[in-house]
Homo-oligomer: A and B are copies of this chain.
Amino acid sequence: MTEHYLEEFAAGQVFNTGHLRVDKEQIFAFAKQFDPQPFHLDEKAARHSPFQGLAASGWHTAAMTMRLMVEGEFKPAGGILGVGFDELSWPRAVRPGDELHAKSEVLEVRPSKSRPDRGLIRVRTTTFNQKDEPVMVFTGNLLVPRRPAASANT
């Protein structure tokens, strides 16, 4: 798939991803390494937690969403390079057996004032489970290069 420069992005564009299934063992493996809390590691403890059942770490959901994005339709030239986010939430727990997919919408395109070779695009990405319920939403700015002058007319 072709990579896209800043000039090719426009507010309102939507990019989809494929699907990724998460099982109990993956939830445990991520939690053991990065978020070793009972509600991500122990089914019984999880039932008595605010999650009311085993749930993936929110950072695991973020990492899976990144995987989906890297392999999805959204192809900024030079890669997906997040500068920072000003909204990140997990409206619903991710459960063993869930199948995730994500959708990224371009909200704004801004050429850099100080660096003529690049710009920022503001993107909101929503991750959904198999019932199309949102499990994660994040909005922020990604760095995208402008089309190099040499290939401006291609």
Question: Which residues of A approach B to under 8 Å, CB–CB?
Answer: 30, 33-39, 49-50, 57-60, 62-64, 66-67, 70-71, 78-90, 138, 140, 143
Contact = CB atoms under 8 A, between A and B. Distances in A.
Nearest to A64: B34
B89 A88 contact: no
A80 B34 contact: no
A34 B85 CA distance: 18
A67 B37 contact: no
A37 B82 contact: no
A17 to B, nearest CB: 13
B79 A89 contact: no
A38 B77 CA distance: 12
A87 B89 CA distance: 11
Given A84-B90, A87-B86, A88-B88, A35 B49 contact: no
B58 A82 contact: yes
A50 B89 contact: no
A30 B63 CA distance: 9
B140 A67 contact: no
B79 A37 contact: yes
Given A33-B67, A70-B36, A89 B85 contact: yes
Nearest to A29: B33
Q: Which are the 10 A-B pairs with shortest beta-carbon distances?
A: A84-B89, A34-B63, A85-B88, A37-B79, A59-B63, A35-B66, A34-B67, A59-B62, A59-B66, A34-B66
